[in-house]
Amino acid sequence: MRAGGCSPVHVRGFDAICRMVAVGPGIAVLPDRAIRPLVRSRPNLLKIAAALPMSPGRTDCPRPSSAMAAPPPLHLDPATLLFSIGVLGWLLAAVSFSTASGAPTTQRAALHAWGRAMLAGGGAFMLYFLRGHAPLWLTLLMANTLVVALGYEGLRAHALLFDEPMPRRAARTLAAFGLGFLFAAHFLGLPRQYAGAALSVALAGLFGMAVWMILRTRERRHSPLSWVGATTTGLTTLMLAIRAATSLGGTAATVSPGADSAQQIGALVLGTLFMLGASMGFFSLVHERQRRETLERARRDGLTGLYTRSAFFELAEQIDKSMPSQPYAALMVDIDHFKAINDTYGHLGGDVTLTHAARLIANSIRLSDVAGRYGGEEFSIILRNCGAEGAAAFAQRLVEEAGRQTVRLPDGRKAQFTLSVGYAIRGAQAAEAPDRVIDRADQALYRAKRSGRNRAEGFDLFSAGAPVPQGA
């Protein structure tokens, strides 16, 4: 070994040892053969290492230690978090816009609004990241304006998705409140912590309305991920409310997005979770609505838009089970002389007449009622909570309205049609299957057709035994 070097001694089963011994003005290394017989166990190794002094001025061969040095504490950097949230927001905006391009019209506007919300959020946090390296009007005024836009567009996206009215007055009032304090702080010298509190209140209000909208929609019952979105948005709302209260007692430095404080780090971590959780929940709700609309389209007749026969009977069973103590009426409707309409105007004219009659029925029933295409030119209807008198009045009104209709055909000609209607009642507390009630309504329909058509007839008896008034 050469003097002045540091040659490790390799001992099988033990750590290498590198020790230097001071000899006069020079440096010598203890030979391997002097150490090897002694290092038969780890205690001997440590004794030898402790006995050998370190050469003056040498620091590259540390003394052996039985304990490792403590690692540095973990620390989240606010600037890195701001940059990461900005990039995340832009990525989620790209996903939202990409999904909207292939989505049905009913969800496209909602996805576009969510994309704008994420785009605004990403831009806001990226501008926060640039504070101190870009003009203050950009990193303060524009950044906070984009944050308010995030809350506003996020609320609008949920309103569009759920077909709910957008609470524009409340949303605009909150936005004006937060931005008003922001611009007053910048131009009029208002303490910046007041602007931070006002912005937190505005965002808490916007997010809170979005949470309420999510919780009272039925789609959430079929979409577990929507609870993730509601929870993260709710926690963000709570954090903003706390931040609004604490900002009033802080300073401009403590309310800055880049402040290196536990409170601000926690807020940024929650902001990251909000971006992810709220987006996952929103996309899940969009998927659930698409699934429901697909199923609904499969249950609808392609020509008339009414329920198919199988879907109608399924809904009739649900109505029967959900209201055993309330009566309901079943009606069978038939277009009179439909074969003659086909022969006169062709099948296209017949299809137009069918569609017109279906639209008349759909516009005549309540939202709680159910109408379906039974087959061919026949239709079936269930009227909830409807007794004999109500069924008779409805059937007669439908017959009279059909007689006043004029169908405009594609070739410019006009056609007219009449309806025959039969109805039957499932009385309160009566144990009768829906298909039996519909069968009695069908018998009443045949009686109406045998009696000259263009009329309404009721079945002779209630299921409980009372007579049903006849329609003329």
Confidence of residue 439 (pLDDT cuts 50, 70, 90): very high
Pair (314, 284) in one structural domain:
no
Same domain, 279 and 396: no
SS3 content of the chain, % helix, strand, coil (to 5): 60, 10, 30
The CATH number that applies at residue 356 is 3.30.70.270
Q: Would the pLDDT of 134 be above 50?
A: yes
Does some domain include residue 70? no
Nearest 5°: phi and psi at 280? -60, -45
- Domain end call among 268, 298, 328: 298
pLDDT for res 25: 43
pLDDT surpassing 50 at residue 320: yes
Q: What secondary structure letter does DSSP report for 336?
A: T
Confidence at residue 249, expressed as pLDDT on a 0 to 100 scale: 73
Which two tokens mark 320? 């029967």
pLDDT top residue among 120 and 292: 120
Residue 72 resides in a domain: no
Residue 2 confidence (pLDDT): 43
Within-domain flag for 471:
no
Reading the block at residue 322, the tokens are 């959900």
- pTM, to two decimals: 0.67
Q: Has residue 466 been placed in a domain?
A: no
Cα dihedral 136, 140, 146, 149, rounded to 10, equals -140
C-alpha span between 392 and 386 (Å, rounded): 10
Question: How much is the pLDDT for 63?
Answer: 53
For 355-369, write each residue's pLDDT tens digit.
Answer: 999 999 999 999 999
Q: What is the spatial distance between Cα 172 and Cα 163, in angstroms, rounded to a whole number?
A: 19
Q: Are residues 32 and 98 in the same domain?
A: no
- Residues 372, 377, 382: CA angle, nearest 5 degrees: 25
Instruction: Indicate if the pLDDT at residue 66 is higher than 90.
Output: no
Q: Are residues 110 and 220 in the same domain?
A: yes
- H and E: helices and strands count for the chain: 14, 9
Tell me which of 222 and 249 has the higher pLDDT.
249
Instruction: Work out the pLDDT band at 215, boundaries 50, 70, 90.
Output: confident
- Average pLDDT, integer, range 267-279: 89
Is the same domain home to 117 and 248?
yes
Q: Which of 247, 274, 298 is the last residue of a domain?
A: 298
Count of the separate structural domains present in the chain: 3
- CA dihedral 456→457→458→461, nearest 10 degrees, is 170
Q: Could you tell me whether strands 419-426 and 378-384 are parallel, antiparallel, or unpaired per DSSP bridges?
A: unpaired
- Whether 272 and 351 share a structural domain: no
Whether 370 is covered by a domain: the verdict is yes
Asked if 109 and 204 sit in the same domain, the reply is yes
Q: Is residue 325 part of a domain?
A: yes
Angle at 164 between CA 162 and CA 167, to 5 degrees: 130
Name the least confident of 23-27, 290-294, 322-326, 420-424.
23-27
Give residue-wise pLDDT tens across range 74-106: 777 889 999 999 999 999 999 999 999 988 887
Tokens of residue 44, six digits: 């001997």
201 and 234 housed in the same domain: yes
- Cβ atoms of residues 421 and 331 within 8 Å: yes
Average pLDDT of 206-223? 80
347 and 279 share a domain? Answer: no
Same domain, 256 and 319: no
Task: Please provide residue 298's backbone torsions phi and psi, each rounded to the nearest 5 degrees.
Answer: -70, -25
Distance (Å, rounded) from C-alpha 308 to C-alpha 61? 86
Residues 256 and 337 in one domain: no
The answer on 396 and 371 residing in a single domain is yes
Among candidate residues 428, 338, 430, the one with its CA nearest the CA of residue 379: 338
- Of the pLDDT bands very low, low, confident and very high (cuts 50, 70, 90), residue 71 is confident
Q: Where are the beta strands (DSSP E) in 136-181?
A: none
Of 21-25, 204-208, 380-384, minimum mean pLDDT range: 21-25
Q: Taking the mean position of all CA atoms in its chain, how far away is CA 408?
A: 43
Host domain of residue 45: 1-63
Q: Tell me the chain's radius of gyration from C-alpha atoms.
A: 39
Assess if residue 361 is contained within a domain: yes
Three-state helix/strand/coil letters over 180-220: HHHHHHHHCCCCHHHHHHHHHHHHHHHHHHHHHHHHCCHHH
- Which of 47-51, 64-68, 318-322, 420-424 has maximum average pLDDT? 420-424
Q: How confident is the model at residue 429 (pLDDT cuts 50, 70, 90)?
A: low
The CATH number that applies at residue 149 is 1.20.1070
The two beta strands, 378-384 and 328-335, are antiparallel
Of the chain, the percentage scoring pLDDT greater than 70 comes to 79
pLDDT at 292: 85
317's tokens: 């069973």
Q: For residue 69, is it within any domain?
A: no
